[in-house]
Homo-oligomer: A and B are copies of this chain.
């Protein structure tokens, strides 16, 4: 598969099976999975498997024929969003969704300028890749970044929270303004929980105020819900948790519980304008198989009450971690909502990122049969993001291993 294929762990894990929140390696060792958000309703979820198998045995074709299942699924999907989201185009990867969204924003506004944060990742195509690791002050082909809004490691020292908020908003305003004589301003793309940024808590009501400023300037607000969506933070969508109303949403990862499925959604008018201008056709998208997998995932989330369960289990887990934090100064900050919690690993007594310490925790937890990962601008944030079917009993198992690692790692 070529050298340099990225693998997790010093000694990579060779897996053979999965079930719910558990993964099993080739030796039959069972690992508690606090990493994988994609199999959101559990590894090898029986309902998803059954629906997928049934549909595959019946029909799978591309979207130039009509299929009831596909139409119903898309209607159901947009119905889970706020009223302004009326229409969706399905794809096979998050990158396809974000690429469509950027192109839609440029088409609808007739302008080119896109804003993102300076520590984000929205995908890997030639267009979307321009948003990856873009320093503030640099323009990359119509894309500029703003400083990631955050309280824990603020981009200016010595400011009160309202002052810090204002500083961020001033920077955004200036960045929007800078597009005035170079192609105009098309919009801002934002992970609605700032996942790759490490789940920072922004000052004040940054999400609401920043997105209002974007709208006032005539730009579109694009919420990347690829990681945030589908109950991850204890609400259906990240933009509900952070209280803003996007014009465009991108969805992916958990949508099909691992079956390749993504979507870009917006108002009917915007999607129609996009389709008028751009030929978008994906052989494998909007297929009956995608609809079967996607519908089964929504069924599971609804019927098992996972939105509420995630909020409650996550809240208790976060409280337990916050309690541990008081005795363990390496845990600089505990952040997040629902079942997406970040622990900012630091040199004790400072807010200096301790990447090595975080990495040792990841390896140490693996040796105790618990899987999680790292994220964030500096790669020092422990990322707790299990399948949504993670329950209190699993949290207990994790916490026992975690406490042990804190003392012995």
- In the complex, what residues of B have CB within 8 A of residue A65's CB? 7-8, 12-15
Bin the interface of chain A by size: 35 or more
Q: Is the CB of B93 within 8 A of A14?
A: no
Interface membership of A200, Cβ < 8 A:
no
Asked whether B271 lies within 8 Å of A258 as measured between CB atoms, the reply is no
| Known A88-B1, A260-B92, A286-B1: A7·B275 in contact at CB below 8 Å | no
**With A1-B71, A61-B258, A253-B283 given, can you name 14 additional A-B contacts, CB distance below 8 Å?**
A2-B268, A2-B271, A3-B268, A7-B65, A7-B66, A8-B64, A13-B66, A15-B66, A18-B60, A94-B283, A95-B96, A124-B278, A124-B280, A252-B283
Q: Are B124 and A126 in touch, CB under 8 angstroms?
A: no
Contact between chains at B103 and A7 (CB < 8 Å): no
Chain A positions 62 through 92: 1 when the CB is less than 8 Å from some CB of chain B, otherwise 0: 1111111011001000000000000111011
Within 8 A of B (CB), among A40-54: 43-44, 46, 48-49, 52-53
Contact B44 A57 (CB under 8 A): yes
What residues on B are CB-neighbors of A327 within 8 Å? none
Q: How many copies of the polypeptide does the oligomer hold?
A: 2
Interface residue? A289 (CB, 8 A) = yes
Checking B58, B88, B126 against A126 with a beta-carbon cut-off of 8 angstroms, the contacting residue is B126
Point out the residues of chain B lying under 8 angstroms from A63, CB to CB: 5
Bound Cα distance A67, B282 (Å): 27
Task: Check: A369 CB closer than 8 A to any chain B CB.
Answer: no
Q: Is A99 an interface residue (CB 8 A)?
A: yes
Chain A at the B interface: mostly helix, strand, loop or mixed?
loop
Partner of A6, one of B59, B64, B252: B64
Does A16 sit within 8 A of B, measured CB to CB?
yes
A127-B124 in contact given A49-B57, A61-B15, A92-B284 (Cβ < 8 Å): no
* Residues of chain B contacted by A74 (CB below 8 angstroms): 1
Minimum C-beta distance from A235 to chain B (A): 22
- Bound together, the chains give a CA A280 to CA B93 distance in angstroms of 13
A279-B17 in contact (CB<8A): no
Known: A63-B5, A276-B4. Contact between A92 and B93, CB under 8 A?
yes
| A residues 262-305 in Cβ contact with B at 8 Å | 268, 271-272, 274-276, 278-287, 289
Residues of A within 8 A of B (CB): 1-8, 12-18, 23, 26, 36, 38-39, 43-44, 46, 48-49, 52-53, 56-68, 70-71, 74, 87-89, 91-96, 99, 103, 124-127, 132, 252-253, 258-260, 268, 271-272, 274-276, 278-287, 289
Residue in chain B with minimal CB distance to A371: B65
Task: Determine the distance from Cα of A126 to Cα of B103 in the docked complex, in whole angstroms.
Answer: 9
Residue of B nearest to A258 (CB): B60
